[in-house]
Amino acid sequence: MTRLALIVCSAPWQERSGREALDLAMSALAMDVSVRLFFIGDGLLQLVAVRQPGAAGLPPGQKAWASLAALGEVAYYAHTEAVDGLLRAGLELVVPLEMLDVGAMPSYQADHRVLVV
């Protein structure tokens, strides 16, 4: 396997689901597998920069998402409308995203042999 696609749809700190995608991405990159991350729905909140999880005793996951590029080839995707909504609300994201129309995302995802939700 040379490429892995992950759909990240869980809000940050919602049980373990948000961290599982991050752990899988780090593991794949450590094995020289390129990773494509598709942030949809509440999953996009994983990338919001202004959250301060330390006060709740939670790890700063958004910094880990941003550091994935240092491990290997990674690309980040999200729906244009969702990103625009966060930016209009004055929120900053921690990684550069390739923004896709809702209708285009399935074709990007279908281009991968392995797609994990």
Are 76 and 98 in contact by the 8 Å Cβ rule? The answer is: yes
pLDDT score at 49: 81
Residue 39 confidence class, pLDDT cut points 50, 70, 90: very high
pTM for this model (two decimals):
0.85
CATH topology of domain 3-116: Hypothetical Protein Ychn; Chain: A, (3.40.1260)
Mean pLDDT for all residues in the chain: 84
Quick: pLDDT tens for 88-113.
Answer: 999 889 899 999 998 888 888 877 77
> Which of 37, 27, 44 is CA-nearest to residue 5?
37
Dig out the tokens for 38 from the structure.
């598709």
